Amino acid sequence: MSTAPTVYDVAERSGVSIATVSRVYRNPDSVRAQTRERVLASARELGYVPSGNARGLASRSTGVLGLCFPDYSDPDAESEAETGAGDEADDDAAMLYSDQIIRGMERAARRHGYALLIAASLKGGPESLVAKVAGRVDGFAVLARTVPTEDLDVISRRQPVVMLAGPRESDDLDHLDHIEAANTDGQRELTRHLIEDHGLRRLAYIGAQESPDVDARFRGYAEACRAAGVPVSGEPDLRVAIMTQAEGARAADTLLDRPGERPEALLFANDQMAVGALHTLERRGVRVPEDIAVTGFDGIALSRLVRPALTTVRQPMRRMGEEAVELLVRRLTGQQDKQPVSMMLPVTVARRESCGCARGASRA
């Protein structure tokens, strides 16, 4: 693997100038067919591949879009694999949030001729994640709360950045484009369903702390409660640190052990926690949904695989990824006015078994 051949090598070997070699790759028609073939031939012989870096440097664009997302890996999800019956080591089935977004972005990017660079947060240093990605792409999307706000602030002055799934956090990020799901609407509707259709009134809400998404969802929950005359406090009944299965399992224990009447329904701010709770409830012999209803939020694949199947609010993550790319591309091609864009994608309530809705309704 000696030194890679360059335009110069190819030019020399085919008796043309480097400019012509360059043209062959970027605008083949501007070169006489015969010349072109000659160039292509020697390129092949030499094993020449244009350096993306050099091209990017010279043309000031990379043809790559990026995505930064948090390290969502849920350790519990991994162990889920062992738990499965027989050889069903299917933690694979749990397609995450980020996987969906990646898929959506990749497709849309491809349609526009872009490749996708993905990177999950890990550590810090002056050389942060965003910086690394930002320096290599024409524009990128960031899953909320993945990177320090100030970093984004700085970078968004240089290139298009769209914030995903997280509401525009503070006012300093007002100028950032952002796309979110209708968290409030979804949770409101789900809550309404529990109250009105199932007649439940003693509800408990479980979320994380310092999450704008959770806040938005809780807001919907509270609104529905108030609308139905069900008492609510201004805060979730329980706040966990990270929304994993383990935490969901613990949360269920905590809530059941609290003095006073047992809640009739446990509303979790995401599916993973709800699944964890399902485990706990089964272990304790509490039947779902007969004794208690459980709901999640997100609509990850796992939510449909658990028994009872989880009633939840499905977020269009795939679409979010696509919209993000469309927006970035529009910015990049200048066909989008300066005004920051703010989209809210509609969600849908998936009524399944865990809330008491018809069993066996799902079918592939």
Sites for a second copy among residues 179-208 (CB under 8 A):
none
CA–CA dist 363, 257 (Å, integer): 36
20: partner contacted, choices a second copy, DNA, none (Cβ within 5-8 A by kind): DNA
Where does this chain bind DNA (CB under 7 A)? 3-4, 6-8, 15-20, 22-23, 25-26, 30-32, 34-36, 48-51, 54-55, 57-60
- Per-residue contact flags (x/-) with a second copy for residues 125 to 144, judged by CB under 8 A: xxx---xxxxxxx-------
Among 38, 178, 217, 351, binds a second copy (CB under 8 A): 351
- CA gyration radius, the chain: 26
Tokens 């809780």 sit on residue: 218
Query: Residues 15, 32, 41, 51: which binds a second copy (CB under 8 A)?
Result: 51
86 is a contact residue toward a second copy (CB under 8 A): yes
The entry of DNA, a second copy, none near residue 18 (CB within 5 to 8 angstroms by kind) is DNA
Query: Looking only at Cα atoms, what is the longest distance across the chain?
Result: 88
305 binds, among a second copy, DNA, none (CB under 5 to 8 A by kind): a second copy
Span 143-172, contacts to a second copy by CB under 8 A: 150, 154-155, 157-159
The single-letter code of the amino acid at 265 is: A
* Rounded-to-10 torsion of CA 157, 318, 186, 177: 10
Measured from the CB atom, is 10 or 195 closer to DNA? 10
Question: What residues from 299 to 328 belong to the interface with a second copy (CB under 8 A)?
Answer: 299, 301-302, 304-307, 314, 317-318
Given a second copy, DNA, none, residue 350, with its beta carbon under 5 to 8 Å by kind, binds: a second copy
Which C-beta is closer to DNA: that of 50 or that of 212?
50
Give the whole-angstrom CA distance, residue 60 versus residue 356: 57
Is there binding between residue 330 and a second copy (CB under 8 A)? no
Q: Do the bridges between strand 265-268 and strand 342-345 make them parallel or antiparallel, or are there none, so unpaired?
A: unpaired
CB of 256 to a second copy, least distance (A): 21
CB of 71 within 8 A of CB of 119?
no
Closer by beta carbon to DNA, 23 or else 178: 23
Alpha helices in the chain, H assignment, sequence order: 7-14, 18-26, 33-46, 52-59, 75-83, 97-111, 129-134, 149-155, 183-192, 212-228, 245-257, 271-283, 302-305, 317-332
Picked from a second copy, DNA, none, the partner binding residue 362 (CB below 5 to 8 A depending on kind) is a second copy
106 binds a second copy (CB under 8 A): yes
Task: Report 6-25 residues binding a second copy (CB under 8 A).
Answer: 24-25
Q: Does 345 bind a second copy (CB under 8 A)?
A: no
Binding residues for a second copy, total number by CB under 8 A: 85
Span of 92-100, 211-219, 246-254, 259-267 interacting with a second copy by CB under 8 A: 92-100
**Neighbouring residues of 313: CB distance < 8 A, sequence distance ≥ 6:** 186, 187, 189, 190, 296, 297, 298, 299, 347, 348, 349, 350
Question: How far apart (Å, rounded) are the C-alpha atoms in residues 282 and 305?
Answer: 15
Q: Which is nearer to a second copy, 79 or 362 (CB)?
A: 362
Residue keyed to tokens 């609010």:
313
β-bridge partners, 268: 206
